[in-house]
Structure formats: structure tokens, C-alpha cells
């Protein structure tokens, strides 16, 4: 258990700016800063000024990597940015994105990726057999090396070749010295949208919050299988590979995306509030005194639960916002401090009360169990736990870092057994029907594999055994995730 970071972690956020004549690097910084929640281990920006590409990247938060001194030198008219939490490829500087590559015709490009490829190991092995050398342990380099080694005339054709060869989830931004290119996988599993800056320049980003922060207006989502090419001549919209279907990750709605972001035309905050309404209908707690969230992601659902059940909403715990992986290396002493590192109970809200605690998910159950105990220790007489999502039973292979399946408590125990394990008086999960009703989008438009085991993109056995193994020849470093 690592209490310094959430139990389910998004892997990356990406952004791309096309703004000749403006400080594109600085705009990329602002939009990347808005995507900080999608990855906190490293950050990077690549800028192009029409003749060359420059990359600055390092381990740390966006504001740690990009000091004013660095920002003032970034410049550029086109930029891409990336913020990362790693699972495919270990957390070392060599794996930090954007990564740079050169095509056979000496055309330089930089590339940043959100998602996970399910056939990266296979493609990499094929390419290594052809003599292609890899420098990093991440699957992003597989995409870059296909493009770099393609004999296609144009980079757009080379990228199309890559899209035809790779399988999995990807939202990718690519920078050449004079173009910004964005692509999305055939199922649109990871989010990617386009916006306009001042009506004349462009931004692409994982979430609309990255548009809002620089005053850009949302245009539309990049479609599954689509390639967007932006250069001085304008925007080209190319259906590079056939769209399979829309299968956006449903956890973007439940948990990952920022509440002020919009997906499928609705704000996440509103959808999460309605999840609280549905949860209150499905699992009411008639005699409770207060409803409180585990902040921040449980907050809109707790507000919704309180509204629908007419039980007062209160703050039951205060979150320490500064607990962070970058600051706290997970070691035994920190783990022993437990959930109190992250949450402090508000005794005046809890003492002598029957309380409803709303959370977005239970992964291993240990954190929830510790939280319930803390709430009881603070004087609550009954603790009723309500989860604004269905039970999380299957691992993710598409860019989310989850526990291995044998650690997922809902894969092993019934709801009643989980209730007993976490020490709650009652436990209720939102149903998939309630969840999609709250979002207002048909369940067929989502990937929901970690909830129902139906993976939209088949997972090869190799990926199932070990999510990804690349041995880094330089360091012997193995990037591996067992499931």
C-alpha cells in the first residue's frame, strides 16, 4: 500500500501548441500545469522554432522542472508537453518524454504519448530482429522508432504506418520543426481534444482544463483513429486508420479527469454529482446525520448523494494536499504512518454521528479500512461507505496503473466480505447502469474492462503475464508489471 499517492494512477497527460509568433513553450507549460493530476513523476516540453527542435525535461512536478529561468529560454512557435507517471518503463530520466528521434531523411521529430500499447513487446522484438536499437524501456519509443525507420515519403505516412502496426491505447502528440500532429487510437480509449487559441492558433490536449487555463476555446475531441496535422497551411483532419468504436476509459469520468474538464459534452463535476444522486437511490442510508467525501475526487458524488437523500453535506476529513510521491519516497516508516499522512478527521463533524462516507473506488481495501477506523476513532457511531463506481475487478492494460488482479479486493471478495474487511456498517457500490445513467452516455461508448472484464482490444498472453518487460541493455533495468 502506498498512501502517498492514489491507488489507481493515470499514466500521462499530453499537450500540443501551434502558435507561431507566440511563446508556445510557455503556453505548453501552463496547459501541462493544468494536467499535473495525470502524472507527477516527470515533465517535459519540446519546442520548434521553424528550424530546430529543443527539448527540456526532467524528473519532478511541472513547476519543479520548469523554473522561470528555463521558461524564459523555451520560446518556440510550436510545442508539445508531457507529464508522466510511469509503469511501462521505470522511473528514470531516460524514459522521460517527449522523446526525440530522427527519420531516415534527417527529419527530426519529438513525440509524447499517453496510454499503453498491448503489442509493444512483440513489435519491439520484431524491430530488434531487424537491427533497430532502442534506448529506453518505454513503449513510446516503439511508436517513435516505427516512424523513424519508415521509408514513407512524408511523416504523415510514416505515422499512419505506425498506427497500423501498434495496438492498444494511445493519445500521441508529435512535433516536427514546422508541424504539430496529434493521433488517437482506433477506440479513443485515452482522451484527446482540440481547441483554438485567440481564434487563430491551436492546442491539442488530454483534457479541456488544459485549454481553459490558456483561454483557448474547445473545438472538438480528436476522433478514434484520426490524425490531426496543423501547420502554416491550416488544419488537416485525416482518418488515418478506421475507427473501431468510441471506447473512452470510463475511469476518466469516475476519477481521473479534472472535474472542470468536459468529455462527451458534459463536465466531469456534473457527471460525478449525478453519480451521487444514483448512488443515493441505489443504496440509501435513511438515518444518517451527515454525508462527507474522501476528497477531492469523492467530493462531487458526496454533494450529489447529500442532495438526493436530503442529508446534510459536511467535511468529515481534511486532505493534506501536499502529500506527494515526489516528496515522500514510499518506505516502511511512511507506510506505517498510514492514512493519517493524507487525511485528518474532523472530530466536530463526526463525533456521535451516523455518517455516510463517499469514495470513488476501493482498490485493495487497506486504505478504505484504515480510513473507516480513523472515522470511528474520531467518534462516529456508524460508518456507511458508498462507492461512486462499480467494483474494480480486472486490471487495466491501456495506460492506467492498477494493482495486480490478485490484489484487487473486489476480484476476491463479495460486497459483504469487503464490508466486513473494511469494518463499515454498510457498503454500497454504484451499478454500471447507475453509472452510465449518471454520465448520460450509453455504456457501449466506454471501455469499462476493469469493471466487467470485457476488453475492447484483445490482450495478448504475453501482456497478461507481464504487462511489459523491456530489458534496458545499458543499465540492466527491467520495466515490468505483473498482473
Residues assigned a catalytic role: 12
Q: Closest separation between CB of residue 400 and ligand SF4, Å?
A: 4
Q: Is 448 in the site for ligand SF4 (CB under 6 A)?
A: yes
Judged by beta carbon, residue 251 or residue 292, the one nearer ligand SF4 is 251
Q: Closest separation between CB of residue 46 and ligand SF4, Å?
A: 26
Q: Is 48 in the site for ligand SF4 (CB under 6 A)?
A: no
Q: How far apart are CA 470 and CA 460, in angstroms?
A: 16
Indicate the pairing of strand 108-114 with strand 99-102: antiparallel
Judged by beta carbon, residue 378 or residue 400, the one nearer ligand SF4 is 400
Phi, psi of 197 (to 5 degrees): -105, 120
Q: Which residue has the cell 530488434?
A: 128
Q: Closest separation between CB of residue 251 and ligand SF4, Å?
A: 4
Pick from 306, 449, 457, 459: which binds ligand SF4 (CB under 6 A)?
A: 449
3-class secondary structure per residue, 349-383: HHCCCEEEEEECCCCCCHHHHHHHHHHHHCCCCEE
Show the binding pattern over residues 186-215: x = contacts ligand SF4 (CB under 6 A), - = does not: ---x--------------------------
Radius of gyration of the chain (CA): 22
Judged by beta carbon, residue 167 or residue 289, the one nearer ligand SF4 is 167
Judged by beta carbon, residue 25 or residue 168, the one nearer ligand SF4 is 168
Pick from 439, 447, 463, 483: which binds ligand SF4 (CB under 6 A)?
A: 447
Q: Which three cell numbers stand for residue 252?
A: 476518466
Q: Enumerate residues 6-35 that contact ligand SF4 by CB under 6 A.
A: none
Q: How far apart are CA 363 and CA 158, in angstroms?
A: 40
Three-state secondary-structure class, residue 67: coil
Judged by beta carbon, residue 84 or residue 448, the one nearer ligand SF4 is 448
Best CA proximity match to 435, nearest among 445, 426, 425, 421? 445
Q: Closest separation between CB of residue 22 and ligand SF4, Å?
A: 34
Residues in contact with ligand SF4, total (CB under 6 A)? 11
Q: Closest separation between CB of residue 220 and ligand SF4, Å?
A: 21
Q: How far apart are CA 118 and CA 313, in angstroms?
A: 43
DSSP percent split of the chain into helix, strand, coil, nearest 5: 35, 25, 40
Q: Enumerate residues 227-266 that contact ligand SF4 by CB under 6 A.
A: 249-251
Burial of 326 (0-12, 13-18, 19+ CB in 10 A): middle
Show the binding pattern over residues 380-409: x = contacts ligand SF4 (CB under 6 A), - = does not: ----------------x-x-x---------
Q: Which three cell numbers stand for residue 251?
A: 475511469
Give yes or no for a contact between 18 and 49, defined as CB atoms under 8 angstroms apart. no
- Whether cis (ω within 30° of 0) applies to the bond prior to 296 is yes
Judged by beta carbon, residue 19 or residue 301, the one nearer ligand SF4 is 301
Q: Closest separation between CB of residue 116 and ligand SF4, Å?
A: 9
Judged by the rule CB under 6 A, the positions of this chain that interact with ligand SF4 are: 189, 249-251, 396, 398, 400, 447-450
Amino acid at each position: 500500500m502506498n498512501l502517498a499517492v492514489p491507488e489507481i494512477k493515470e499514466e500521462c497527460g499530453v499537450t500540443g501548441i501551434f502558435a507561431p509568433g507566440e511563446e508556445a513553450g510557455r503556453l505548453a507549460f501552463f496547459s501541462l500545469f493544468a494536467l499535473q493530476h495525470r502524472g507527477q513523476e516527470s515533465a517535459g516540453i519540446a519546442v520548434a522554432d521553424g528550424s530546430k527542435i529543443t527539448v527540456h525535461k526532467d524528473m519532478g512536478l511541472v513547476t519543479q522542472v520548469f523554473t522561470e529561468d528555463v521558461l524564459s529560454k523555451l520560446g518556440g512557435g510550436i510545442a508539445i508537453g508531457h507529464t508522466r507517471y510511469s509503469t511501462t518503463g521505470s522511473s528514470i530520466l531516460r524514459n522521460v518524454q517527449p522523446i526525440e528521434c530522427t527519420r531516415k531523411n534527417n527529419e527530426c521529430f519529438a513525440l509524447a504519448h499517453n496510454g499503453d500499447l498491448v503489442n509493444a513487446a512483440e513489435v519491439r522484438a520484431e524491430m530488434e530482429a531487424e537491427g533497430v536499437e532502442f534506448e529506453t524501456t518505454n513503449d513510446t519509443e516503439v511508436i517513435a522508432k516505427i516512424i523513424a525507420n519508415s521509408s514513407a515519403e512524408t511523416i504523415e505516412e510514416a505515422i499512419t504506418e505506425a498506427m497500423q502496426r501498434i495496438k492498444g491505447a494511445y493519445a500521441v502528440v508529435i512535433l516536427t520543426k514546422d508541424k504539430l500532429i496529434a493521433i488517437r487510437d482506433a477506440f479513443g480509449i485515452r482522451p484527446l481534444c482540440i481547441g483554438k487559441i485567440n481564434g487563430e492558433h491551436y492546442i491539442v490536449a488530454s483534457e479541456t482544463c488544459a485549454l481553459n487555463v490558456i483561454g483557448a476555446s474547445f473545438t472538438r475531441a480528436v476522433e478514434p483513429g484520426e490524425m490531426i496535422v496543423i501547420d502554416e497551411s491550416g488544419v488537416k483532419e485525416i482518418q488515418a486508420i478506421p475507427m473501431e468504436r468510441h471506447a473512452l476509459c470510463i475511469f476518466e469520468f469516475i476519477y481521473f479527469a479534472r472535474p472542470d474538464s468536459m468529455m462527451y459534452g458534459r463536465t466531469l463535476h456534473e457527471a460525478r454529482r449525478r453519480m451521487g444522486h444514483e448512488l443515493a437511490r441505489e443504496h440509501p442510508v435513511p438515518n444518517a446525520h451527515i454525508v462527507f467525501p474522501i476528497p477531492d475526487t469523492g467530493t462531487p458524488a458526496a454533494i450529489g448523494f447529500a442532495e438526493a437523500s436530503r442529508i446534510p453535506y459536511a467535511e468529515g476529513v481534511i486532505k493534506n494536499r501536499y502529500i506527494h510521491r515526489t516528496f515522500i519516497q514510499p518506505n516502511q516508516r511512511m507506510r506505517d504512518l498510514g492514512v493519517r499522512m493524507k487525511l485528518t478527521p474532523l472530530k466536530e463533524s463526526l463525533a456521535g454521528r451516523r455518517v455516510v462516507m463517499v469514495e470513488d473506488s476501493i482498490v485493495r481495501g487497506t486504505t478504505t479500512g484504515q480510513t473507516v477506523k480513523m472515522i470511528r476513532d474520531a467518534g462516529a457511531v456508524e460508518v456507511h461507505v458508498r462507492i461512486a463506481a462499480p467494483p474494480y475487478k480486472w486490471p487495466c492494460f491501456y495506460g492506467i496503473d492498477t494493482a495486480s488482479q490478485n490484489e484487487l479486493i473486489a476480484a476476491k471478495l463479495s460486497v459483504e466480505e469487503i464490508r466486513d474487511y473494511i469494518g463499515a456498517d454498510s457498503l454500497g457500490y454504484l451499478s454500471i447502469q447507475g453509472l452510465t445513467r449518471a454520465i448520460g452516455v450509453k455504456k457501449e461508448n466506454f471501455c469499462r474492462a476493469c469493471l466487467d472484464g470485457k476488453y475492447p482490444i484483445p490482450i495478448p498472453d504475453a501482456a497478461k503475464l507481464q504487462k511489459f518487460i523491456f530489458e534496458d541493455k545499458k543499465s540492466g533495468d527491467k520495466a515490468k508489471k505483473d498482473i
